């Protein structure tokens, strides 16, 4: 039976400080390897940080963009993978054919394995949208990537799984932002500043409707309905001017949590995934029961897409 030992990571990035962020990626990759992990996944735009892009002019966005795989950050990620003999997945800003993308790469000691462009970017008007799904082989497993908002559109998940994915890597920068849903909103900075002396109020906010409760309304359903493993990553602490709750975790095809980081620090957590659940879980049966002849024209009908979330409307 196939198995794979996967680590999820979380850390507090520094805006635009690639050297620092890559140094943390290096440290956490070493920690994951010491736990026996074969793969480690980091959050969306983990090389540069994410939220601060909403305020950057085009010149500064372009200055942070790099080619893949020939850019310095990808080369550094490959060196980290080789140094620790571990597969590394991380996010960076890519420039390709004069277009700028929110990209996510998978590398090992030999080089680039896969890259993906976010289909629903919104943090910067200078980011172009990706237009294809990515499926790649990783140590005998078929894997896909969907970045943050891409996972909220259920068709993206089903299409990625129907394309062959058994594991979906889902790097995010999410939660603790305003929404029409009751209980959502920003987390008070005072709670973060007092996290060591009075951690309980912060943990309650992070695990409540502003954070984990919202995530667990829908992410386990993506795993369960599609019979797929989900590797979710998210930063901890401040990303730009927004406080994020971490809670990086791995879900199995039953929608159950295999491992989750419950720390306010830079950290990793590791789980063993196994082949048997791919067919034992209900999602595989639901896929086999589909009747696309009934709804193919409905799902595939022309539609004008709009992505911008509530908290971005006035930016």
For the chain, the domains span 3-312
Q: Is 315's pLDDT higher than 90? A: no
Q: For 247-300, what is each residue's pLDDT tens digit?
A: 999 999 999 999 999 999 999 999 999 999 999 999 999 999 999 999 999 999
Give the pLDDT confidence score for residue 312 in this predicted structure. Answer: 83
E-strand ranges in the chain read: 3-10, 39-41, 87-96, 99-108, 111-117, 135-138, 141-145, 167-171, 229-233, 236-239, 242-245, 249-251, 257-260, 267-274
Nearest to 237 by CA among 271, 269, 196, 180: 196
Statement: the pTM of the whole predicted model exceeds 0.85: yes
Distance between CA atoms of residues 252 and 275, nearest Å? 10
What is the rounded average pLDDT for all residues in the chain?
A: 97
Peptide bond into 57 cis (omega under 30): no
Nearest to 8 by CA among 31, 20, 16: 31
E-strand ranges in 186-284 read: 229-233, 236-239, 242-245, 249-251, 257-260, 267-274
Q: Is 198's pLDDT higher than 70? A: yes
Nearest to 37 by CA among 138, 142, 143: 138
Q: For 29-81, what is each residue's pLDDT tens digit?
A: 999 999 999 999 999 999 999 999 999 999 999 999 999 999 999 999 999 99
For 73, 126, 239, 240, the CA distances from 17, given in Å and listed in that order, are 11, 20, 12, 12
Give the pLDDT confidence score for residue 311 in this predicted structure. Answer: 82
10 backbone dihedrals φ, ψ, rounded to 5°:
-145, 145
Confidence of residue 310 (pLDDT cuts 50, 70, 90): confident
Beta-bridged to residue 89, according to DSSP, are: 41, 106
∠ CA 272-257-106, rounded to 5°: 55
User: Helix (H, G, I), strand (E, B), or coil: what is residue 224?
Assistant: helix
End-to-end CA, the chain: 50
Give the pLDDT confidence score for residue 308 in this predicted structure. Answer: 83
Percent of the chain with pLDDT over 90: 97
Give the pLDDT confidence score for residue 123 in this predicted structure. Answer: 96
By the 10 Å C-beta count (0-12 exposed, 13-18 middle, 19+ buried), 314 is classed as exposed
Beta-bridged to residue 259, according to DSSP, are: 250
By the 10 Å C-beta count (0-12 exposed, 13-18 middle, 19+ buried), 21 is classed as buried
Beta-bridged to residue 53, according to DSSP, are: none
For 74, 204, 257, 264, 266, the CA distances from 191, given in Å and listed in that order, are 36, 10, 26, 11, 18
- 3-312 homologous superfamily: Carbon-nitrogen hydrolase (3.60.110.10)
Q: For 173-192, what is each residue's pLDDT tens digit?
A: 999 999 999 999 999 999 99
Give the pLDDT confidence score for residue 61 in this predicted structure. Answer: 98
> What six digits make up the tokens of 104?
């996510």
Give the pLDDT confidence score for residue 313 in this predicted structure. Answer: 67
Mean pLDDT of 78-90: 98
């Amino acid at each position: 039976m196939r198995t794979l030992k996967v680590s999820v990571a979380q850390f507090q990035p520094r805006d635009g400080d690639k050297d620092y962020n890559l140094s943390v990626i290096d440290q956490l990759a070493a920690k994951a390897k010491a736990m026996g992990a074969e793969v480690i996944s980091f959050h969306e735009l983990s090389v540069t940080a994410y939220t601060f892009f909403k305020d950057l002019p085009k010149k500064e966005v372009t200055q942070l963009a790099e080619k893949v795989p020939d850019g310095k950050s990808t080369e550094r990620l490959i060196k980290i993978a080789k140094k620790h003999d571990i597969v590394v997945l991380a996010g960076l800003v890519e420039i390709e054919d004069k277009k700028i993308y929110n990209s996510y790469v998978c590398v090992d000691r030999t080089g680039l394995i896969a890259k993906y462009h976010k289909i629903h970017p919104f943090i910067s008007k200078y980011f172009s949208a990706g237009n294809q799904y990515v499926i790649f082989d990783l140590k005998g497993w078929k894997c896909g990537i969907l970045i943050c908002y891409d996972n909220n559109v259920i068709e993206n998940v089903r299409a990625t799984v129907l394309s062959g994915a058994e594991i979906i890597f889902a790097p995010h920068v999410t939660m603790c932002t305003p929404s029409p849903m009751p209980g959502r909103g920003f987390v008070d900075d005072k709670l973060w500043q007092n996290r060591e002396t009075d951690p309980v109020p912060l943990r309650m906010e992070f695990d409540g409707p502003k954070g984990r409760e919202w995530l667990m309304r829908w992410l386990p359903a993506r795993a369960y309905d599609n019979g797929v493993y989900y590797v979710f990553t998210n930063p901890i602490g401040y990303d730009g001017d927004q406080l994020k709750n971490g809670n990086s975790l791995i879900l199995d095809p039953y929608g159950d949590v295999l491992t989750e980081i419950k720390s306010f620090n830079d950290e990793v957590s590791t789980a063993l995934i196994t082949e048997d659940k791919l067919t034992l879980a209900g999602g595989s049966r639901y896929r086999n029961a589909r009747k696309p002849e009934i709804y193919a024209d409905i799902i595939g009908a022309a539609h004008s897409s709009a992505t911008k979330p509530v908290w971005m409307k006035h930016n």
